Amino acid sequence: MAQSPVPPAAAPRRFRPATEVVHGGTLRSQFSETSESLFLTQGFVYPTAEAAEARFKGDDPGFIYSRFSNPTVAMFEERMARLEGAEDARATASGMAAVTAALFCMLKAGDHVVAPRAMFGSCLYVIEELLPRYGVASTLIDGKDLDQWRAAVQPNTRAFFLETPTNPTLEIVDIAGVAAIAKASGITTIVDNVFATALHQSPLELGADVVVYSATKHIDGQGRCLGGVILSSKQWIADHLHNYLRQTGPSLSPFNAWVLLKALETFPLRVERQTASAARLADHLAGTPGIARLIYPGRADHPQAALVKRQMRAGSTLIAFEFTGGKAAAFAFSNALELVKISNNLGDAKSLITHPSTTTHQRLTPEAQAALGINAGLLRLSVGLEDVEDLIEDIDRGLAAAAAVSPASADAAA
Ligand SMILES: *Cc1c(COP(=O)(O)O)cnc(C)c1O
């Protein structure tokens, strides 16, 4: 190698984020390639036994084994750290591997976690069902209410976990408010920033300690591979995460890291465009007869618009809306779409529609769904990269089909 094989451990941003996602973290081999290389290798060889010894002792910072680190994965981690403005980052095989690792690496039996009830289903499983098996208790609250965060704190509370905007009703949790309560009691705040994206929300600047992403969503943004990333201070990663990841091995494949690394180059362009289209579609849907509730964080009529303004730079790429005609209208709408696909994913180049009560949230009881604001008429739309005029025409096809379902019979069907 013509230059050091290891990137400077998360160097501070030199350029603006849109530039860092193109160049940040690039490592070039002796061939001086333009596009980043895919190092599809499990291990690394050493010129001498002494070199191997130095590598293992940490005197030489090169690579040892791809469960620990890999050049392509390291490029992705460094680029993510620069995008987020974080000191350091570690990649994982999926978003859930990132969430699980961020919690398990710092918790032990006897600890306590506080989290909102409104949360991505698998995150709820980890906190409500898995952690208690290992002696970590949890309290679930209404995350919008700062008093409930305060009241839930116990002497053994170690972590606050939250996502905002929430899935699927796009409620907002006050990151700065929650982080201030946490700081006062030495509690670590972990934010799942998937829905807002790094482009529109910076939890670390608002006082959070750790940010996690499912890179499967907007970071890939083209529906190809799973991935996750955890970002924090060098200190937190060294103290909690570094050894946990090396020894338990939820490692990101170098191939997937390469896809995600290249995807980052267009991440700001894609998310900006998807956000602009989401804002257009939200305005188009608002006030449509038959839609009882339209929720888009970028609109002035969002119930927490002032808080959105304080912590988000834009409304992001998801819209939720509820038909008065219940399930029949929601299904008629979804089935009439030609362009927008029925899928439970989000953040994709392709626009996707989801009916949470029968898919992502179907394991919840009707009462639990109702408590989260999910009813049979609710749909979640993830806005993609198609021409917005084509999307509007597609939405209009759906609206016509929903209107054809008589509200009376639709209510009965729901
Ligand atoms: C998708 C998602 C996850 C899980 O990510 P995977 O890559 O599917 O494991 C976690 N949190 C949120 C908010 C998500 O949207």
Residue 409 has pLDDT above 70, yes or no: no
What's the CATH class of domain 17-264? Answer: alpha beta
Q: Which ligand 1 atom is nearest residue 98's CA?
A: 9
Distance from Cα 288 to the centre of ligand 1, integer Å: 31
Whether the CB of 327 sits within 6 Å of ligand 1: no
Distance from Cα 224 to the centre of ligand 1, integer Å: 14
Average of per-residue pLDDT across 7-18: 76
Residue 401 has pLDDT above 60, yes or no: yes
Would the CATH topology of 17-264 be identical to that of 268-413?
no
Work out the end-to-end distance of the chain between its first and last CA atoms, rounded to an integer number of angstroms: 64
Angle at alpha carbon of residue 394, lines to 323 and 326, rounded to 5°: 15
Round to whole Å and give the CA distance between 309 and 63.
43
Distance from Cα 370 to the centre of ligand 1, integer Å: 22
**Per-residue confidence (pLDDT) for residue 129, from 0 to 100:** 95
Give the number of residues written for the chain.
414
Whether the CB of 394 sits within 6 Å of ligand 1: no
Mutate to test the pocket of ligand 1, among 119, 122, 226 (most ligand atoms within 8 A of CB): 122
Bridge partners (DSSP) listed for residue 90: 230
Whether the CB of 192 sits within 6 Å of ligand 1: yes
Round to whole Å and give the CA distance between 398 and 376.
16
Residue 159 has pLDDT above 50, yes or no: yes
Average of per-residue pLDDT across 146-155: 98
Q: In what order do the strands lie in the sheet with 88-92?
A: 88-92, 228-232, 210-214, 188-192, 157-163, 112-116, 137-141
Q: Domain ranges for the chain, please list them.
A: 17-264, 268-413
Q: What's the Cα-to-Cα distance from 78 to each of 19, 339, 385, rounded to whole Å?
A: 13, 36, 27
Whether the CB of 94 sits within 6 Å of ligand 1: yes
Whether the CB of 141 sits within 6 Å of ligand 1: no
Q: What's the Cα-to-Cα distance from 140 to each of 118, 281, 296, rounded to whole Å?
A: 9, 33, 25
* Protein residue closest via CA to atom 5 of ligand 1: 95
Residue from 311, 271, 272, 314 nearest 296 by CA: 314
Fold of the domain spanning 268-413: Aspartate Aminotransferase, domain 1 (3.90.1150)
Distance from Cα 122 to the centre of ligand 1, integer Å: 8
**Interval 347-377: pLDDT, tens:** 999 999 999 999 999 988 999 999 999 999 9
Residue type, 357: S
Round to whole Å and give the CA distance between 105 and 245.
8
pTM value is 0.95
Residue 268 has pLDDT above 90, yes or no: yes
Average of per-residue pLDDT across 270-295: 96
Whether the CB of 123 sits within 6 Å of ligand 1: yes
**Per-residue confidence (pLDDT) for residue 2, from 0 to 100:** 37
Residue 4 has pLDDT above 70, yes or no: no
Answer whether 401's CB lies under 8 Å from 333's CB: yes
Residue 308 has pLDDT above 50, yes or no: yes
**Per-residue confidence (pLDDT) for residue 414, from 0 to 100:** 43
Confidence of residue 391 (pLDDT cuts 50, 70, 90): very high
* Protein residue closest via CA to atom 1 of ligand 1: 214
Answer whether 162's CB lies under 8 Å from 182's CB: no
Angle at alpha carbon of residue 98, lines to 97 and 104, rounded to 5°: 85
Largest CA distance in the chain: 80
* Protein residue closest via CA to atom 2 of ligand 1: 214
Whether the CB of 232 sits within 6 Å of ligand 1: no
Average of per-residue pLDDT across 324-331: 97
Round to whole Å and give the CA distance between 192 and 211.
6
Residue 406 has pLDDT above 70, yes or no: no
Kindly state the tokens that stand for 131. 């952690």
Whether the CB of 331 sits within 6 Å of ligand 1: no
Residue from 116, 162, 156, 163 nearest 136 by CA: 156
Residue 119 has pLDDT above 70, yes or no: yes
Answer whether 281's CB lies under 8 Å from 388's CB: yes
CB atoms under 10 Å from CB of 244, counted, come to 17
**Per-residue confidence (pLDDT) for residue 6, from 0 to 100:** 58
**Per-residue confidence (pLDDT) for residue 287, from 0 to 100:** 83
Average of per-residue pLDDT across 86-107: 98
What percentage of residues in the chain have a pLDDT greater than 70? 95
> How high does pLDDT run on average in the chain?
94
Average of per-residue pLDDT across 183-203: 98
Average of per-residue pLDDT across 328-346: 98
Residue 102 has pLDDT above 80, yes or no: yes
Q: Which ligand 1 atom is nearest residue 227's CA?
A: 7
Angle at alpha carbon of residue 103, lines to 319 and 128, rounded to 5°: 70
Q: Which ligand 1 atom is nearest residue 226's CA?
A: 7
Round to whole Å and give the CA distance between 33 and 36.
7
Average of per-residue pLDDT across 72-84: 97
Distance from Cα 392 to the centre of ligand 1, integer Å: 28
**Per-residue confidence (pLDDT) for residue 122, from 0 to 100:** 93
